[in-house]
A and B are shown apart, each in its own frame.
Chain A
Amino acid sequence: MLAHELFEVRSMLRKQGIIFAYSGYVTEAVLSGVGDAIKQKLLFDDANTKTARSVFAVFVEQMQNMIRYSAETATAGAASSSPNGIRYGVLTIGQENGDYVINAGNLVQLPDVDRLRAKLSRIRNMNKEDLRALYKEQLRGDPGEGSKGAGLGFMEIARRASKPIDFDFVDVDDEHAFFTLKASV
């Protein structure tokens, strides 16, 4: 029974073409470790250099987004916004019709949904040239309120992707929605 249950999980992932799945608290050390395994797998797959680097680049941006922004946190008694807390996220890497697909999901606060949706819709609908222009503008600009990086992560993902990015939100309770971002390389 024990083996059966976990094997079911594995089979379900396999059926979806998933070769890597991580669900849990994410830290920079997890990024390093999982990242190394992904690099090795891409090498064994004989993926071309550009594809391998792009898959890795999308993975890094997706992981860092969850590490910094997931609204599901664990802290040592302090408030949930404590900078020392660790955050929960789900990341999968799989293959779909010849593409590598990197999906990431985490909880977000409901009031942030509209802002994220607007930002991602804008990026999704841009061609490569417009993305390039926006990226350059943002590189020189202010990262924006609440940003913990350069504010370039979603654009970097969209630029590395071979198809338009896809995203979705589903409400999970009175305060949170589950956010998913999909990128194909």
Chain B
Amino acid sequence: MRKLYIPASSRTPMIDFDFGKNHLKISGESYPEDVTEFYNPLFSALDAYLAELGPGKSCRFDFELIYINSSSAKAVMMLMDKLDVAASNSANVDIYWFYDAEDDTMQELGEEFGEDLENAKFHLEKMHG
């Protein structure tokens, strides 16, 4: 699979996993009716992609989340864990967490996730415009 694209819905974020370009992105709001149903296919796609990402290869993952509910927070942590494991296997993984400057809650959440990463490089930045 070279690309996984899912448009945003009112309760789920846009997913743009461009595996060909090694640039993955999740953006918007996340409070799905069923967190497992939404995130499980993403976990599978990410697992398959990361398994192929050999040592020395680079990948970038952007989180541009406006709001996530508590069940989604657990799913986001699982995405981060998978990326961190890939980085521990000598891939170069950069994780960007973009937050709305007007809502420091999401900034704090980003900091909390970032603290737990041991191998991936974490970047905390304000959203553009």
Q: Mark B50-89, 1 if CB is under 8 A from A, else 0.
A: 0000000000000000110111011001000000000000
A160 — which chain B residues lie within 8 A by C-beta? 105
A60 within 8 A of B: yes
Answer yes or no: A107 CB below 8 A from chain B CBs.
Answer: no
Residues of B within 8 A of A64 (CB): 69, 71
Give the CA-CA distance A135 to B11 in the complex, in Å. 23
A47 to chain B, nearest CB (A): 11
A140 contacts B70, C-beta separation under 8 Å = no
- CB of B118 within 8 Å of the partner chain: no
Q: Smallest CB-CB separation from B9: which chain A residue?
A: A32
Pick the contact of B70 from A49, A132, A149 — CB < 8 Å?
Answer: A149
B18 touches A (CB below 8 Å): no
User: What 0/1 readout, one digit per residue, does chain A (32-73) give for beta carbons within 8 Å of chain B?
Assistant: 100010000000000011100110110011001000000000
Interface residues in B20-34 by Cβ distance below 8 A to A read 31, 33
Given contacts A61-B69, A132-B108, A152-B73, contact A49 B103 (CB under 8 A): yes
A61–B69 alpha-carbon span in the complex (Å): 7
Give chain A residues whose Cβ lies under 8 Å from the Cβ of B10: 32, 36
Q: Which of A57, A64, A139, A149 has the most CB of B within 10 A?
A: A139
Contact B67–A56 (Cβ < 8 Å) = yes
Q: Is the CB of A54 within 8 A of B105?
A: yes
User: Which residue of chain B is the closest to A52 with respect to CB atoms?
Assistant: B103
A61 touching B103, Cβ below 8 Å: no
Q: Is the CB–CB distance between B70 and A61 below 8 Å? A: yes
Interface residues of A (CB under 8 A from B): 28, 32, 36, 48-50, 53-54, 56-57, 60-61, 64, 132, 135-136, 139-140, 149-150, 152-153, 155-156, 159-160
Across the A-B interface, give the 8 residue pairs with the lowest CB-CB distance, nearest first. A152-B70, A49-B102, A150-B74, A156-B70, A28-B33, A149-B71, A50-B103, A150-B71
